[in-house]
Chain A
Amino acid sequence: MALLETKGLGITFGGLRAVGDFEITIGDHELVGLIGPNGAGKTTLFNLLTGVYLPTDGDVLVEGKSVVGLKPYQIVEKGLSRTFQNIRLFKDMTVLDNVKVAFHHKMSYGTANTLFRIPGSKYWKEEADIDKKGRELLALFKMEDNVNDMAKNLPYGKQRKLEIARALATEPKLLLLDEPAAGMNPQETKELMETIHFIRENFDVSILLIEHDMSLVMGICERIIVIDYGVIIAKGTPEEIKKNEKVIGAYLGQ
């Protein structure tokens, strides 16, 4: 069974068809790239998958079960997690707290424990647990020295990394990265590629990557999907995409 499958997925805003008839299948441990010119509907697609928008037609299946109509936080529980094109960290919270928020849906202690922090109760165990897991996760991303920094004080590259770490903290099966290289210089982009490789080696997760930076997408993705005006115009390996006339047309204009 495919990890993610969409069937005839589409959304219309007023009279505008932002995404239409979108069909894609992603299996376990895949790295798929999604490219397309500005305004092609890439981020809209992410918003459809994560429950921010309700599709006007079609279906989204995660491990065979429809997630359409679920609230975004419920879709996170199903194993989808994402980052944002424009970084959206909790800026006035510490780096560690940013990651801890993402563990939220895995914690189960109740009101009595929240109010009184009963000694020896689940509260202490779960809080200690996510503290440890959060620090380990940040250490993997070489941010162990930043745990107590405010997120807003991190340099740009590290903010991007923290956003990815935060998304991974929800323990997703599919990670959606929305233009992670946006605003990065070539050096930072190179580091990002290494980070993505690192994630694939160390986490059991598939990745769907939206990207503008062609070298990044071509360099690391096994499969690429190209969309324009909300519909898929090409699918294939990086080699095939490079030669595809429609893709060249969409990017350079005809």
Chain B
Amino acid sequence: MSYFIQQIVYGLSAGSIYALIALGYTMVYGIVKLINFAHGEVLMMGAYFTIFGIISFNIPIILALPISMVLCALLGMFIDRVAYKPLRNAPRISALITALGVSMFLSNFFKLLFGAEKRKMPDFPALKGGYVFGDVTIPYKAILTLVLTLVCLITLQIIVRKTKVGRAMRAVSEDKQAAQLMGVNVDLTISITFAIGSALAAVGGVLYAINYSQIFPTMGTLTGLKAFVAAVLGGIGILPGAMFGGFLIGIVENLTKGYGAGGWSNAVVFGILIIVLLVKPEGIFGKNTREKV
């Protein structure tokens, strides 16, 4: 039993990273109906920015992380302006292909800049060890991950529910034209959505680097893909769905690994995606939008 609980603890920790990243996918999809495949690369860059801040400029991580969040936010807005905005009224498939292109460009660009080899995340002595409850250990890293994730999730919920930006985002995601005719600056609102999603991805990237102690230019590809699965699982476009999906994927993955089927963990994650798409294509939290004839 304690072994099982231990796996759940690891799962929650990994899952919160997926949740943070999944939120970016789901927010952007909700507002411009685009699967932003470059999102995984944003998380990679968030991790790189933070580590370079720490190593090259000797900035403490507590400062490096917010700086990296701001940089990623700007970058997310920049990607939208350059790559997606010109295609806003183009067929959706064009924007999707562009997103794939941006993703490949960014990961290869970073390979060129910093080399393909894995870099070690500096160790933080304060994060070594954990609380021990009988046979279950809760690593400090996991606590940091969960706390930081919860802070982000709560802040996001407050922004979406209680501020003018959040109301504008909800309005734009329902009906862009009606929103702009009610005085909402749609382009700005979309930019802000990209900024928030990218800042969350930066946090996800840094937490990934802390938990797995390494960074590399393609780290965002598979992590991003799994977070995307999480977003679809929860119902793409729905924020609580993305959170739930993220935690679910993290737990399932760690249980598979913990019970001796480590090689199968990705297969299980994507297997779940296939089953969900077959049984409930709109996702667990999704509403059934049957088309009227």
9 nearest interchain CB pairs?
A105-B183, A76-B183, A88-B178, A72-B180, A101-B171, A102-B182, A90-B174, A114-B163, A73-B180
B:10-56 near A, CB below 8 Å: none
Q: How far is A71 from B135 in the complex, measured between Cα atoms in Å?
A: 63
Q: Report the stretch among B102-110, B154-162, B227-235 that lies at the interface.
A: B154-162
Q: How far is the CB of B286 from chain A (nearest CB, A)?
A: 13
* B165 contacts the other chain (CB 8 A): yes
Scan B172-211; emit 1 where CB is below 8 A from any A CB, else 0.
0011011111111110000000000000000000000000
* Closest residue of B by beta carbon distance from A105: B183
Q: Does A54 contact B (CB under 8 A)?
A: no
Chain A residues, CB < 8 A from B168: 101, 104
Query: At the interface, yes or no: B81 with Cβ under 8 Å from chain A?
Result: no
Are A114 and B159 neighbours in the complex by a CB distance under 8 Å?
yes
Q: Is the CB of A104 within 8 A of B170?
A: no
Of the listed residues B155, B159, B171, B183, the one surrounded by the most CB atoms of chain A closer than 10 A to its CB is B183
A101 and B179 contacting across the interface, CB-CB below 8 Å: yes
Measured between C-beta atoms, what is the minimum distance from A121 to chain B in Å?
12
Name the B residues within 8 Å of A102 (CB-CB).
182-183
Do residues A77 and B175 form an inter-chain contact, with CB atoms below 8 A?
no
In the complex, A123 has a CB within 8 A of chain B? yes
Known A90-B175, A92-B174, A100-B167: A117·B158 in contact at CB below 8 Å:
yes
Chain A residues near B92 (CB, 8 Å)? none
Residue of B nearest to A92 (CB): B174
Query: What residues of chain A lie closer than 8 Å to B171, measured between beta carbons?
Result: 90, 93, 101
Choose among B167, B181, B185 the residue that contacts A97 (Cβ–Cβ < 8 A).
B167
A115 to B164 Cα, complex, angstroms: 11
Contacts of B182 in A (CB 8 A): 76, 81, 101-102, 104, 166-167, 170
**Distance in angstroms between the alpha carbons of A59 and B97 in the assembled complex:** 40
Measured CB to CB, the nearest residue on chain A to B185 is A73
A100–B164 Cα distance when bound, in Å, is: 8
User: Interface code A100-115, partner B: CB below 8 Å = 1, 0 otherwise?
Assistant: 1110110101000011
Given contact pairs A100-B167, A115-B159, A73 touches B174 in the complex (Cβ within 8 A): no
Across-interface contacts of B164 in A (CB, < 8 A): 104, 107, 109, 114, 126-127
Q: How many residues of A contact B (CB 8 A)?
A: 33
CB neighbours (8 Å) of B170 from chain A are 90, 92-93, 97
> B residues within 8 A CB of A109?
164
**Chain A proximity of B273: nearest CB distance (Å):** 26
24 example contacts (A-B, Cβ-Cβ < 8 A) are as follows A50-B181, A52-B181, A71-B185, A77-B183, A90-B170, A90-B175, A91-B174, A92-B174, A93-B171, A93-B174, A101-B171, A102-B182, A104-B164, A104-B183, A105-B184, A107-B164, A109-B164, A114-B159, A114-B163, A115-B155, A117-B158, A117-B162, A166-B182, A167-B182
Give the residue of B163, B175, B186 whose beta carbon is less than 8 angstroms from that of A88.
B175
A73-B159 contact given A84-B178, A92-B174, A107-B164, CB 8 Å threshold = no
Report chain B residues within 8 Å CB of A100: 167
Assess whether A160 is interfacial by the CB under 8 Å rule: no
Whether the pair B175, A71 counts as a contact (CB closer than 8 A) is no
In the complex, A173 has a CB within 8 A of chain B? no
Cβ distance B215 to chain A, nearest Cβ, rounded Å: 27
Contact B184 A73 (CB under 8 A): yes
Contacts of A114 in B (CB 8 A): 159, 163-165
Task: Name the residue of chain A whose CB is nearest to the CB of B167.
Answer: A101
Please name the residue on chain B nearest to A116 by beta carbon.
B155
In the complex, what's the smallest C-beta–C-beta distance from A108 to chain B, in angstroms? 9
Q: Which residue of B lies closest to A71 (CB)?
A: B180
Of residues 113 through 157 on chain A, the ones whose CB sits less than 8 Å from some CB of chain B are 114-115, 117, 123, 126-127
Q: Closest residue of chain A to B188, judged by CB? A: A73
A82: interface (CB < 8 Å):
yes
* Distance in Å: Cβ of B183 to nearest Cβ of chain A: 4
Q: Return A137 CB to nearest CB of chain B, in Å.
A: 14
Q: Are A90 and B178 in contact (CB under 8 A)?
A: yes
- Please name the residue on chain B nearest to A151 by beta carbon: B174
Find chain A residues with CB under 8 A from B181 CB: 50, 52, 72-73, 76, 81-82
Given the complex of chains A and B, what is the CA–CA distance between A71 and B180 in angstroms?
8
Chain B stretch 122-175: residues in CB contact (< 8 A) with chain A: 155, 158-159, 162-165, 167-168, 170-171, 174-175
Beyond A73-B183, A101-B168, A104-B184, list 9 extra A-B contacts (CB 8 Å).
Answer: A71-B185, A73-B185, A81-B181, A88-B175, A88-B178, A90-B175, A114-B164, A114-B165, A126-B164
What's the minimum C-beta distance from A13 to chain B, rounded to whole angstroms? 16
Closest beta carbon of chain B to A47's beta carbon, Å: 10
